[in-house]
Amino acid sequence: MNIKLKSMVLGSGLAMIVYQIAIQLLGYTAAIAIPAPIAHWAIENSAQIFLLFVWDLLVVQFLGIGILAALAVFFVLRLAPLNWLYVGLSFIVTETLIANLDLWALSSSQFLSITNLLTLTPHFIAVSMCVLAAAKFGGKNQAAV
């Protein structure tokens, strides 16, 4: 099997496994509350949306799926001679599609608003940054193409 195809298949399969595990972790990290002094500061300075975005990115998504995805990709690339770029990109594409399909599979059309699609932005940023960084460092002795 071609190394690029093997990298894409393994990256997609790894994304499916990590997503199933991360669903549980995201539930726990989403339960972490914003500290009251920070919340009061955000209300006084009209920065609630910015604070929620940063909190979701750094606390909920980074801790819930970012670290897990980065570790999984890093160790797979250390153990197997795969193309790091194809593994990383196929992981990101597959994981993003699964996350969007989960949102679209909800029974009511009220969940398909642009606001709910924008809530996936911190998720996409955290996964993309963590996976690409881990893929680059995990396959540092490998060529990109």
Lowest mean pLDDT among 8-12, 17-21, 141-145: 141-145
pLDDT score of 143 more than 60:
no
Q: Please state, in angstroms and rounded to a whole number, the distance separating the CA atoms of residues 37 and 85.
A: 42
Output the average pLDDT for the chain.
85
Q: Nearest 5°: phi and psi at 69?
A: -65, -40
Handedness of CA 110, 112, 118, 119 (dihedral sign): positive
pLDDT of residue 12: 94
**Predicted confidence (pLDDT) at residue 68 exceeds the cutoff of 90:** yes
Domain boundaries in the chain? 3-31+47-138
Average pLDDT over residues 110-115: 62
Q: What is the pTM of this model?
A: 0.83
